[in-house]
Amino acid sequence: MAERRIYYGGQAVLEGVMIRGPRTLAVACRRPDGEIVVHKDNLGGVYSGSVRRIPLIRGAIVMWETLALGMRALIFSSNVAMGEEEKGSESAPILGTMVVTMGIVVAIFFIGPLLLTGWLEDQVGSHFWVIVLEGLVRLAIVVGYVGLIGLTPDVRRVYQYHGAEHKSIHALENCLPAVVDAPFSHRCPSE
């Protein structure tokens, strides 16, 4: 019987990375003194239960867990960056931040382009071209946003950690050593 391949996910955090497996999560980030701090969590309940396999429900669950686990990892890494890693995080302010952030995202990336292109439908006369233009406006907003924030040194550093996160997950999934100079490969030696 063939072994089931395990896939991992992750994200960059301040001065580090978060890696998520099927049942565990780890965040590794660098303190201001250069030491690397690792925080590990076991995931249970909705993060690893059978509810995740129900069609239509799993998408909402994955979106929520991505936001919740990502925010927890970011808060931990920001506490480490400030030298306060023992400090916990209260869930009410985090939930409030997530709601406000989602509201801003919806306004900028969904409602804004819809309003911007909505008046064009009467002038253009083609619903198809209005939808294409709306998609192009959304794409321009995303690309412009990512490009502009990438000009700041702090975000550029997070982008570098994002690349490190991708390379680490690739090494983990393909049984390669997690070193900077590791070559890319597609299969574990046992496969």
Say if residue 165 is in the same domain as residue 145. yes
* CA 81 – CA 15 distance, rounded (Å): 7
Query: Taking a C-beta distance cutoff of 8 angstroms, is the pair 77, 83 a contact?
Result: no
CA distances from 12 to 70, 97, 99, 105 (A): 9, 19, 21, 20
Local confidence band at 64 (pLDDT 50, 70, 90 cut-offs): confident
User: So what's the pLDDT on residue 167?
Assistant: 85
- pLDDT range class, residue 191, cuts 50, 70, 90: very low
The answer to whether residue 1 scores a pLDDT higher than 90 is: no
User: Per the domain annotation, does 29 fall within a domain?
Assistant: yes
Residues 74 and 37 in one domain: yes
For the segment 14-42, what is each residue's pLDDT rounded down to a tens digit?
Answer: 889 998 888 888 999 888 888 889 999 88
Strand partners, 25: 20, 41
Chosen domain end from 42, 71, 89: 89
User: Could you tell me the residue range of the domain that residue 157 belongs to?
Assistant: 90-170
What digits encode the pLDDT tens for the residues 105-118? 888 888 887 777 77
Question: What pLDDT is recorded for position 94?
Answer: 67
pLDDT band at 91 (very low <50, low <70, confident <90, very high): low
Last residue of a domain, one of 54, 89, 124: 89
pTM over 0.85: no
Taking only the tens place, the pLDDT of each residue in 150-175 is 999 888 888 888 888 888 888 888 88
Evaluate whether residue 53 is within a structural domain: yes
Closest to 16 in 3D by CA, of 5, 4, 1, 26:
26
Residue 6 burial by Cβ neighbours in a 10 Å radius (0-12, 13-18, 19+) = exposed
Q: For residue 108, with 0-12 CB atoms within 10 Å meaning exposed, 13-18 middle and 19 or more buried, which class applies?
A: middle
> Residue 186 domain-assigned?
no
